[in-house]
Amino acid sequence: MIESNNPEINVDELMVKIREEVARRRADVASPSPPLSRPQDSVPTAIEWSSSLSASLPAAEYQARHVGTVPGWARFGGVKRKIARQVARVVLYLSDFIINQQKQVNGTILSALRAIGDGLGRLESRLGEQVQQKDEVAKSLNILQGAVGRVDQEQQATLQRLEAELARREEHIQGVEQEQRAAVQRLEAELARREERENNLEKSLYQLKVNLVQQERRLTLLLEEARKRLPEPFDQQQLQTFVTEEQHRLDALYVSFEDQFRGTREDIKERLRVYLPLLKENGIGMEQMPIVDVGCGRGEWLELLREEGLLAQGVDINRVLIEQCRQQEFKITESDMLAYLRKLPDRSVGAVTGFHIIEHLSLQNLIHLLDETVRVLAPDSVAIFETPNPQNVTVGSCNFYLDPTHQRPLPSATIKFLAEARGLCRVEVLNLHPYPAAFKVDGADLAERFNEFFYGPQDYAVVGWKA
């Protein structure tokens, strides 16, 4: 401890205070500004750094300027202040070589911080300009978006107008198309009616023509017979000729009836195709096994056989039908079927067929037909007779009687029995032509039985073989 003769000055206390002040100054120089650090979870921006430096640099410069100066020490008075200032000057002078480098470092750091502050200021200014440019770009983008929105709205409105116009035009076109379709349907219906009337007129004209020809033929025959015989009375043969001609008086009417109720040629041909395998599988229809069709009518069966390359001969007594068949160059004979069969040799044909003919015969003539059929058939030849099926209630009670020349309905069991009794073997019954499924009633056993009796097969065929 240094002692002093001046009792008012405590040198030791003064040195302690000087040391504390120097340490404080050094602490102030070492930490000239508040720390610029931020929490670890936050990164300062350039603007924040610039603001922090701008606030800290004046205090740091002030402290740097006063490093190495003696404080005023206002708390000391008189002699104590003078002694303290002198001692401080001595201490500062002695410590100047220590803090000189620190002052230089502080100056360098302050210069660097001032440069950084200036740079940050410029960066802040540039950032401000960029923010302003960004704002301007955002405004321009908003304006552009508004313009695009208006354009979109205008386009949407235009598109809606176009869609509405297109829908209106499509509706108009559909209306026109419907009117055109209706007009076409009316025209087609009118054409169909006119075509039907023309067909009916053609049929009527044809029937009139046939009737006139038949009447002319009968009158010619009558006049010829009268010329031969007059003034003598007619003999038995001439009277028979007149009777025979009388039988043909309704030929044209019956043809018209068949055209009305029998069905089209194509329908009948399609129905008859079921018998073709029976013939082809047994070589029937070849030269040594010809087919005889009794009551051949319009010749649908003869036409189908010719298309299949099979030989066939038709027999009928209706002169109008015979003329139609001859126009199509079918091989046909005008004759009563029993008279024709009786002229054929034994075992000379491969098949005898008759479609919707046996219901026109009396029982006696039906027996004669079966007998002659068995006689003329060659071994392994076949007889086919198709007729309406009276087991179908609608057919047996109504449709059968549409043709006034029908004798009586023929149950299949009866015809099968007669065919076997007169010499045919392997006789079987083929049920044919049921009503379409649309006619039938849905249901269980009762509905099934109802459909069988009312909508079952409309026809059947008895097929028998010659042993």
pLDDT value of position 87: 73
Cα 193 from chain centroid (whole Å): 36
In a domain, 246, yes or no: no
The backbone torsions φ and ψ at residue 48, rounded to the nearest 5 degrees and listed phi first, read -65, -45
155 plus 276 within the same structural domain: no
CATH code of the domain in which 287 resides: 3.40.50.150
CA dihedral 381, 383, 384, 388 (to 10 degrees): -170
In a domain, 226, yes or no: no
Q: Shortest CA distance to 308 belongs to which of 344, 247, 351?
A: 351
On whether the CB atoms of residues 275 and 282 are closer than 8 A, the answer is no
On whether the CB atoms of residues 455 and 435 are closer than 8 A, the answer is yes
In a domain, 364, yes or no: yes
274 plus 417 within the same structural domain: yes
284 class by beta-carbon count within 10 Å (0-12 exposed, 13-18 middle, 19+ buried)? buried
CA distance 355 to 292: 12
Number of domains the chain is built from: 2
List alpha helices for 248-311, DSSP H.
251-261, 265-272, 276-280, 300-307
pLDDT value of position 43: 47
In a domain, 434, yes or no: yes
User: Where a domain ends, among 162, 180, 198?
Assistant: 180
In a domain, 221, yes or no: no
The backbone torsions φ and ψ at residue 413, rounded to the nearest 5 degrees and listed phi first, read -65, -35
* Structural domain of 60: 1-36+43-180
pLDDT value of position 347: 96
CA distance 298 to 328: 10
147 plus 272 within the same structural domain: no
pLDDT value of position 35: 47
In a domain, 229, yes or no: no
In a domain, 386, yes or no: yes
% of the chain at pLDDT higher than 90? 38
274 plus 175 within the same structural domain: no
CA distance 154 to 177: 34
pLDDT value of position 67: 57
The backbone torsions φ and ψ at residue 232, rounded to the nearest 5 degrees and listed phi first, read -75, 155
Token pair of 438 as six digits: 């649309």
156 plus 29 within the same structural domain: yes
pTM above 0.85, yes or no: no
User: Where a domain ends, among 149, 180, 211?
Assistant: 180
Going by DSSP bridges, is the β-strand pair 457-465/425-434 parallel, antiparallel, or unpaired?
antiparallel
In a domain, 252, yes or no: no
Going by DSSP bridges, is the β-strand pair 377-388/312-316 parallel, antiparallel, or unpaired?
unpaired
167 plus 271 within the same structural domain: no
CA distance 17 to 15: 5
User: Where a domain ends, among 134, 149, 180?
Assistant: 180
pLDDT value of position 214: 65
On whether the CB atoms of residues 225 and 238 are closer than 8 A, the answer is yes
pLDDT value of position 137: 86
163 plus 270 within the same structural domain: no
Token pair of 432 as six digits: 């044919």
168 plus 303 within the same structural domain: no
Under-70 pLDDT residues of the chain = 1-19, 21-57, 59-78, 80-81, 88, 92-103, 105-106, 204, 206-219, 221-223, 225-249, 254
The backbone torsions φ and ψ at residue 330, rounded to the nearest 5 degrees and listed phi first, read -80, 150
